[in-house]
Amino acid sequence: GVMFFFSRINPSVPIWAFIIVYIILMLSISAIMMPAQTNALNELPKHLYPHGTAISNTLQPVAGALGVSVFVSIMSQGQKSYLAGQEAASKQ
């Protein structure tokens, strides 16, 4: 539901509306991730809980960093493709 509102954001949307939608998104993600991680760790034998927690805590920032780098790469290529057909600002 919240992602639908993000897909409708445009420059005329007030910043406070964007902030509220973003807060709801972040609260929703945390509400989903905690039970998901608990369920995943519950599948492990008790003696492997520390290892499961360590792997989970390591993979979260690594996946976040990879996600950001992939997003920036895709966005940069899209911008490059878009600007290839535009006239330079100095020639306008």
Give the predicted TM-score (pTM) of the model.
Answer: 0.59
Question: Cα–Cα distance between 10 and 18 in angstroms, integer?
Answer: 10
Task: Identify the band that residue 28 occupies on the pLDDT scale cut at 50, 70 and 90.
Answer: very high
Q: What are phi and psi of 88, to 5 degrees?
A: -60, 145
Give the Cα-Cα-Cα angle 21, 32, 38 (nearest 5 degrees).
155
The chain-wide mean pLDDT, for the chain, equals 89
Question: Tokens standing for 12?
Answer: 């005329």
| pLDDT value, residue 90 | 62
